[in-house]
Copies of this chain bind each other. A is one copy, B any other.
Amino acid sequence: MRGLNRAASVFVLLPVWLVVAAASADEGMWLFNDLPGEYLKSNYGFEPTEPWADHLMRASVRFNSGGSASFVSSTGLVLTNHHVGADTLQKVSTPEKDYYRNGFYAQQPADEIPAPDLELNQLVAVEDVTERVNAAVKPETSAAEAFAARRGVMAEIEKESLEKTGLRSDVVTLYGGARYHLYRYKKYTDVRLVWAPESAIAFFGGDADNFEYPRYCLDVCIFRVYEDDKPARIEHFLPVSARGVADGELVFVSGNPGRTQRILTTAALKFHRDHRMPYVLDFLRRREVLWQQFGLEGGEQERRARDDLHGVQNSRKAYTGMLQALQNPAFFARRQAEEDAFLAQVAADPAWKDSLDAWQRIQEVCARRRELLGQTGGLGGRLFRTARTLVLMAAEDQKPNAQRLREFRESARDSLLQRLFSTAPLYDDLEQTELADSLALFVERRGGDSPLVNAVLQGKSPSTRAAELVRQSKLADVVERKRLAAGGQQAIDDSSDPMIQLARLLEPEERRLRAIHDELDETERQAYARIADAIFAIRGTDTYPDATFTLRLAFGQVKGYVENGRKIPPWTTVGGAFAHEERHAGEPPWKLPPRWHEHRRRLDPKTPFDFVCTADIIGGNSGSPVVNRDGALVGVIFDGNIQSLAADFFYSDEVARAVSVDSAVILEALRKVYGADKLADELGH
């Protein structure tokens, strides 16, 4: 699951739900302020104390780009997945110094490489603001008015909090709109690369082994956060266990699952099964082939496109697994029976009339969404996206904070500007390829006779037009971006940059579609909130909300499973990695880095490598620390097995498993393969 992080970034704008059925077994992505203490106590004899939970919460780190991590030293060290850091590794690499492929180790702090646009978040406080949010929305208003009112009060709460505390402040919609919590984060934006292994061991087995198990991936890398140009002093960090895990051991996962959709009605699930997922998969396969073709042009092209390629391959594999789960008639029959039974309970009491109607409203929203599939006012490529942000920002900044599109609200400004002014390299050929493909897709979706298409193409073919736009735009230059951002609407109006002009041309269509989607989201949110009301009333509140790319605690046992009659062990070993290489005759992607062969004799072959557990995770959990009862880090989540892909829709611990890098192999590799004793010594101190 390279890109447990990516799944998050793809979905972060989607509405979020809550879970219909009561949690069972080790199910659940629990709020830190509402942990399943009783279940843990009665089933595992463990009671999470408030200090235990608070420490774990503060030692947990969110990569704002999509992903999870943890503090692992008082000196600001942050441990995450290699594939979460890949975006940065890619951005700081050059044709000559390919840190993504060859790895990196800063012997001295001075050698650590600043990431061009990372933002790390540490959750420090959560406050329930449900009443204030709901009070702002008058009953009997239209969905559009309700949406505006809600957006307004959320922006207001966030701005007040930011001004009062100086902390990043986000109001999060939970249980599909039944609860609103204010999350406050300490933000780190000076983040530097300390160590990364070679991609060949981080992603051993490549796309072929992705989502498979047994695995042998050292999918980790280490950053350090700085404040005032010095390593940040971190109070809450995790000790790193050298002993590995025991079979059946209770472990906890603290991370930021991006999205689950377990509350979805069967009508909504059918929309996903028959329309949305096939649509998304067509797009993912299109991009997969595009980046593969681009990479065929040469080694440097392959380097430039690989992060994008791995991202879409990962998503394609994940979506394929999810769609397979939905296409199983047995799943739907079970789900339909559950829903029918619950609907009968709801229908029995006239007080729940509004909740009952919610199912119908959701069905209507799905029908509308189906019509809208493929309609977008946007194009691809970083240059275009930069232009679009600049154009929208100029207009939004003229509005009061509470009326702006969410991403332009004042409390989110710093994060927005950091991304907008990123110094990450831009490659003309990559830009042109993505833009040309997105222009071609735009023609396909709207038809070549559409006036908007013709205005966009200006009589040229998609590839000719893309080449011209990329060649003539000056937005690759950060100075120009800053000038345009500072100049506001006047600068945008005066700009002769063709990419800016293209973004302005598309702006009305984009806003039109955005308004439709925002209204549909609101209608859906209100409907699911009514369904949640019924669930709370009929089944109780002892449950967890669907994932929202905010901090959650999952738990489970280290536990193997049986697949097609074959026993799959709970963990793999270093010796197994070499055997896995031999089974594939050392052909890439099963070729261990030369360093591993050089130092093979020093390595203890019995060192645990990767392990599986039953904790409930999903995209966004990548890099999450796995801790034991004592709060020591015993692993780092990096994947789920193929059977776990249905977790978007339902949890199962029969054969679905979360996959982690064992902490023991991290220490073993640092000391014996990478000559990084100093770094290993620093971990946990």
In the bound complex, how far is the Cα of B453 from the Cα of A327, in angstroms?
A: 10
24 A-B contact pairs sorted by A residue (CB < 8 Å): A207-B293, A208-B296, A270-B447, A270-B449, A273-B443, A273-B448, A274-B448, A274-B449, A281-B286, A282-B282, A282-B286, A285-B286, A285-B288, A285-B289, A289-B316, A299-B587, A324-B462, A327-B448, A328-B460, A328-B461, A328-B464, A329-B457, A329-B459, A329-B461
| Interface pair A323/B449, CB less than 8 Å apart | no
> Which single residue of chain B is at the shortest CB-CB distance from A454?
B329
In the bound complex, how far is the Cα of B586 from the Cα of A299, in angstroms?
A: 12
A459's contact among B299, B330, B440, by CB below 8 Å, is which? Answer: B330
Query: Which residues of A126-142 are within 8 A (CB) of B?
Result: none
Q: Does A463 contact B (CB under 8 A)?
A: yes
Q: Does A468 contact B (CB under 8 A)?
A: no
- Point out the residues of chain B lying under 8 angstroms from A444, CB to CB: 274, 278
> Which single residue of chain B is at the shortest CB-CB distance from A287?
B285
A448's contact among B270, B440, B447, B459, by CB below 8 Å, is which? Answer: B270
| Interface pair B270/A324, CB less than 8 Å apart | no
Q: Does A349 contact B (CB under 8 A)?
A: no
- Point out the residues of chain B lying under 8 angstroms from A535, CB to CB: none
In the bound complex, how far is the Cα of B322 from the Cα of A461, in angstroms?
A: 12
| Interface pair A324/B440, CB less than 8 Å apart | yes
In the bound complex, how far is the Cα of B281 from the Cα of A208, in angstroms?
A: 24
- Point out the residues of chain B lying under 8 angstroms from A584, CB to CB: 298
In the bound complex, how far is the Cα of B321 from the Cα of A293, in angstroms?
A: 13
In the bound complex, how far is the Cα of B459 from the Cα of A328, in angstroms?
A: 7
- For A327-345 the 0/1 string (1 means CB < 8 A from B) is 1111011000000000000
In the bound complex, how far is the Cα of B436 from the Cα of A323, in angstroms?
A: 13
Interface residues on A, range: 35 or more
- Point out the residues of chain B lying under 8 angstroms from A208, CB to CB: 293, 296-297
| Interface pair B316/A448, CB less than 8 Å apart | no
- Point out the residues of chain B lying under 8 angstroms from A461, CB to CB: 324, 327-330
In the bound complex, how far is the Cα of B270 from the Cα of A505, in angstroms?
A: 24
Q: Does A326 contact B (CB under 8 A)?
A: yes
Nearest CB of B to A312, in Å: 10
> Which single residue of chain B is at the shortest CB-CB distance from A210?
B296
In the bound complex, how far is the Cα of B326 from the Cα of A443, in angstroms?
A: 10
- For A289-328 the 0/1 string (1 means CB < 8 A from B) is 1000100111100000000000000001000000110111
- Point out the residues of chain B lying under 8 angstroms from A457, CB to CB: 329
In the complex, the 7 A-B pairs of residues with the closest C-beta atoms, listed nearest first: A208-B296, A328-B461, A278-B444, A285-B285, A274-B447, A282-B282, A285-B289
In the bound complex, how far is the Cα of B287 from the Cα of A281, in angstroms?
A: 12
- For A642-654 the 0/1 string (1 means CB < 8 A from B) is 0000000000000
Other than the given A281-B286, A285-B286, A289-B289, 8 more pairs (CB < 8 A) read A273-B448, A282-B286, A285-B285, A288-B289, A299-B587, A324-B462, A329-B459, A329-B460
> Which single residue of chain B is at the shortest CB-CB distance from A585?
B299
- Point out the residues of chain B lying under 8 angstroms from A281, CB to CB: 286
> Which single residue of chain B is at the shortest CB-CB distance from A440?
B327
Nearest CB of B to A178, in Å: 29
In the bound complex, how far is the Cα of B208 from the Cα of A153, in angstroms?
A: 55
Residue from A274, A298, A464, A587 with most neighbouring chain B CB atoms (10 Å): A274
- Point out the residues of chain B lying under 8 angstroms from A448, CB to CB: 270, 273-274, 326-327, 329, 332
Nearest CB of B to A376, in Å: 15
Nearest CB of B to A210, in Å: 10
> Which single residue of chain B is at the shortest CB-CB distance from A316?
B289
- For A249-284 the 0/1 string (1 means CB < 8 A from B) is 000000000000000000000100110001001100
Nearest CB of B to A508, in Å: 22
- For A467-481 the 0/1 string (1 means CB < 8 A from B) is 000000000000000
In the bound complex, how far is the Cα of B333 from the Cα of A120, in angstroms?
A: 52
Nearest CB of B to A212, in Å: 10
- Point out the residues of chain B lying under 8 angstroms from A464, CB to CB: 328
In the bound complex, how far is the Cα of B270 from the Cα of A286, in angstroms?
A: 21
> Which single residue of chain B is at the shortest CB-CB distance from A439?
B327
| Interface pair B323/A440, CB less than 8 Å apart | yes
| Interface pair A324/B274, CB less than 8 Å apart | no
Nearest CB of B to A641, in Å: 16
- Point out the residues of chain B lying under 8 angstroms from A206, CB to CB: 296
> Which single residue of chain B is at the shortest CB-CB distance from A464?
B328
> Which single residue of chain B is at the shortest CB-CB distance from A206?
B296
Nearest CB of B to A526, in Å: 27
> Which single residue of chain B is at the shortest CB-CB distance from A273?
B448
In the bound complex, how far is the Cα of B292 from the Cα of A285, in angstroms?
A: 12
Nearest CB of B to A479, in Å: 31
